[in-house]
A = this chain, B = another copy of it.
Amino acid sequence: MTDFNIATMAQQAKKASRVAAQLNTSEKNTLLNAIATAIEHNSEIIIKENSKDIIAGREKGLTQAMLDRLVLDDKGIKGISSAIREIAALADPVGDVDKLSLRPNGIQVGKMRIPLGVIAMIYEARPNVTAEAAALCIKSGNAVILRGGSEAIHSNLAIANCLHQVLTEHNIDKNIVSVIPDTSRSVIEELLQQNDTIDLVIPRGGEGLIRYVTENSRIPVIQHYKGVCHLYIDKYADLDKAINILVNGKTQRPSACNAFETVLVHGDISAKFLPLAAKALNDAAQVKIHACKDSIGYFTNAELATEDDYHAEYLAQEIAVKVVSSYEQAINHINEYTSDHTEVIITQDISRGQNFVRQINSSVVMVNASSRFSDGNQLGLGSEIGISTSKLHAYGPMGLEALTTEKFVVFGDGQVRV
A residues neighboring B (CB under 8 Å): 18, 21-22, 95, 101, 103, 107, 109, 112, 114-117, 199-200, 214-215, 218, 220, 238, 240-241, 244-245, 247-249, 252, 335, 353, 357-359, 361-370, 372-374, 378-380, 390-393, 395-397, 405-417
Contacts and interface: CB of A to CB of B under 8 A. Distances in A.
A369 B248 CA distance: 57
Q: Which of A21, A112, A397, A410: most chain B CB closer than 10 A?
A: A410
B335 A411 contact: no
A364 B415 CA distance: 16
A306 to B, nearest CB: 22
Most chain B CB neighbours (cut-off 10 Å) among A248, A368, A397: A368
Given A95-B358, A252-B417, A378-B417, A412 B368 contact: yes
Contact of A395 (B353, B359, B380, B406): B406
Nearest to A111: B396
A22 B109 contact: no
Contacts of A244: 414, 416
Contacts of A18: 335
A240 to B, nearest CB: 7
Given A220-B220, A370-B416, A405 B391 contact: yes
A132 to B, nearest CB: 21
How many copies of this chain does one complex carry? 2
A396 B391 contact: no
Nearest to A17: B361
Contacts of A410: 364-367, 369, 373-374, 379
9 contacts: A107-B369, A112-B357, A245-B414, A252-B417, A363-B407, A363-B408, A370-B417, A372-B416, A373-B415
Given A21-B361, A369-B411, 12 more contacts: A22-B358, A117-B391, A199-B391, A241-B413, A245-B414, A248-B416, A252-B417, A365-B408, A367-B410, A393-B393, A395-B405, A396-B408
7 nearest interchain CB pairs?
A369-B412, A248-B416, A241-B414, A372-B417, A366-B410, A393-B393, A391-B405
